[in-house]
Amino acid sequence: MYADLRDDARLAEELGYDTLWVAEHHFWYDGWCPQPLIAVASALAATSSLRVGTAMLLLPQHDVSVVSRDVGTLVAAYGDRLDLGVGLGYRDEEFDGVGVRRSERGRRMEAALTTLLKDHAGTWSGPPPVYVGGLAEAAIRRAGRHGAGLLLPNSLTPDEIDLRRTLASQEAAAAGLTPGRTGMLVDVWVTSDGTQESRDRVLDRLVTHYREYAGAWFRLQGSPGFTRPDLLDRQSRRTRRAAVVGDPEQVTESLLALRAAGVDTFLMQVRGDFPRPAYRRVMNELANTVIPELRKA
């Protein structure tokens, strides 16, 4: 998997992508990375100009002094090529497995961000951009008052995006800071044609993937996901509606609509559970057809 990651990083650089992002999870079977900064180092070493980011590093589950040390080392070794996205984490099993109380995650996140952005930033040769993941009001306010960027989930409407951008900007202004960028994770897939049949095949597979993910990992209104099929159905409909799937023109149009809503950093999720040749084809298609149009805009 790490060898594949390095190959994908080299491909992303060759195709002209700005950044490759990696994610963190623990104690699961499907290849989520348990130490994303190690993976980041591997991808940075395999490339020369590509930025590499974390979306997200589950900061409350880590010793912030170790994170600070590793971030400083990456900056010293590779310069301004790191984007640090951090999130709270939500799986009870992960907090239990690393010996941290889930109930303390908000307090730990606040303290860790203060350490990284104020106490330790001056010790690095150049502090990397920091993004805070989430959609709850507390997470958005936290990002704003620290002057960090937002990493929003893939299910928000333009109005919901605007609401969170406004809230973060207000918090940043109150703290005397400039608000960060607005990033959004977006499920993106370019089909071989623009027919509804092609789109449905991709969307069906994507929804199946997310039902497994949410059913196994989420607590929906306090209950394990798989015990609430009604709520999983609602989540699935939202995922299906938000996914950007179609031919290059359809994909471009959908992403430009999100750009008009204020998103300036797209984390295009093209992996899901699709096989490697398929998602590498989509990486090529996006680079050749969609991204040039986004850059023009």
pLDDT digits (tens, 9 = 90+) for 84-121: 999 999 888 899 999 999 999 999 999 999 999 987 77
With CA atoms as reference, report the closest residue to 197 among 138, 245, 259. Answer: 245
Rounded Cα distance, 148 and 132, in Å = 6
pLDDT digits (tens, 9 = 90+) for 195-244: 999 999 999 999 999 898 889 888 888 888 999 999 999 989 999 999 99
Q: Where are the domains of the chain?
A: 2-191+245-296
pLDDT given for residue 213 in this prediction? 86
Rounded Cα distance, 291 and 297, in Å = 10
DSSP 177: -
How many other C-beta atoms can be found within 10 angstroms of the C-beta atom of residue 51? 22
Percentages helix, strand, coil for the chain (3-state, rounded to 5) are 55, 15, 25
CB contact burial 157-190 (16+ within 10 A = b; e otherwise) = eeeebeebbebbbebbeeeebebbebbbbbbbbb
pLDDT digits (tens, 9 = 90+) for 243-276: 999 999 999 999 999 999 999 999 999 987 899 9
Contact 47, 77 (CB under 8 A): no
Contact 30, 64 (CB under 8 A): no
Q: 31 — phi, psi (to 5°)?
A: 90, 10
* pLDDT-derived band at 47, boundaries 50, 70, 90: very high
* pLDDT-derived band at 123, boundaries 50, 70, 90: confident
pLDDT digits (tens, 9 = 90+) for 168-201: 999 999 999 999 999 999 999 999 888 999 999 9
Helix (H, G, I), strand (E, B) or coil at 81: coil
With CA atoms as reference, report the closest residue to 17 among 284, 297, 293, 296. Answer: 284
Rounded Cα distance, 76 and 134, in Å = 29
Contact 131, 150 (CB under 8 A): yes
Cβ neighbours of residue 116 under 8 Å, at least 6 residues apart?
64, 67, 68, 71, 84, 130
DSSP 171: H
* Residue 233, token pair as written in the block: 């159905």
Cβ neighbours of residue 243 under 8 Å, at least 6 residues apart?
154, 187, 188, 189, 202, 203, 206
What is the CATH number that goes with domain 2-191+245-296? 3.20.20.30
pLDDT given for residue 22 in this prediction? 95
Rounded Cα distance, 273 and 64, in Å = 32
